[in-house]
Amino acid sequence: MRALPFLIALLAATPAMAALAPGAKAPAFTTQGALAGKAFNVSLAALLKKGPVVLYFFPAAFTPGCTAEAHEFAERTASFKQAGATVLGIAADKIEDLQRFSVEECRNKFAVAVGTPEMIRGYDVVLPQLSTRSSRTSYVIAPNGQVVYAYSDMDYRNHVTNTLKAVQGWKANRKR
């Protein structure tokens, strides 16, 4: 745990940029996920069949910013569901850690999944100083697989509000 303060300081000082711009095709993936402590296989294709997906990458489970972000996503899960969206958090952690994180910090409200190196590169969210970790980047992906919103900032505080607004805006435009 001595590395935790170093990781926190490094993450706080790291700028982040989302490379997948709105209009880009979201890379397909299948990986291990966890919801309410139970592991399962999750694929983007299966999630998109249900509606838009909020795919949010975070650097590491159980770090202060990632925990606060997970709590906020958990508190707003009903609002995302009301807008028809599924939330999936992605981190380059072991599935065992994410199983525990899904219970303790996601409060059994939404799934988290293992971000493989291929996924992190494919979504272009590699954290420069820690190439095995992702930046804090949130995407809204429409059911057709197109990125409709991207937001990248290592400060967790605007991710949930911004992605919820993006999902609600996407839904409102679909009704017109």
Q: What would the pLDDT profile of 41-59 be if each residue is shown by its tens digit?
A: 999 999 999 999 999 999 9
Q: Which of 101, 113, 42, 46 shows the shortest CA–CA distance to 74?
A: 101
Q: Using one digit for the tens of pLDDT, what is the confidence trace for 29-40?
A: 999 999 999 999
Q: Using one digit for the tens of pLDDT, what is the confidence trace for 45-97?
A: 999 999 999 999 999 999 999 999 999 999 999 999 999 999 999 999 999 99
Catalytic residue among 34, 48, 55, 66: 66
Say if 4 falls within a structural domain: no
Q: Domain residues for 101?
A: 14-175
* Residue 66: active-site member: yes
DSSP annotation of 158? G
Give the whole-angstrom CA distance, residue 102 versus residue 112: 6
How many domains are there within the chain? 1
Q: Which of 5, 137, 161 shows the shortest CA–CA distance to 59?
A: 137
Write down the pTM of the prediction.
Answer: 0.89
CATH number at 143 reads 3.40.30.10
Radius of gyration (C-alpha) of the chain in whole angstroms: 15
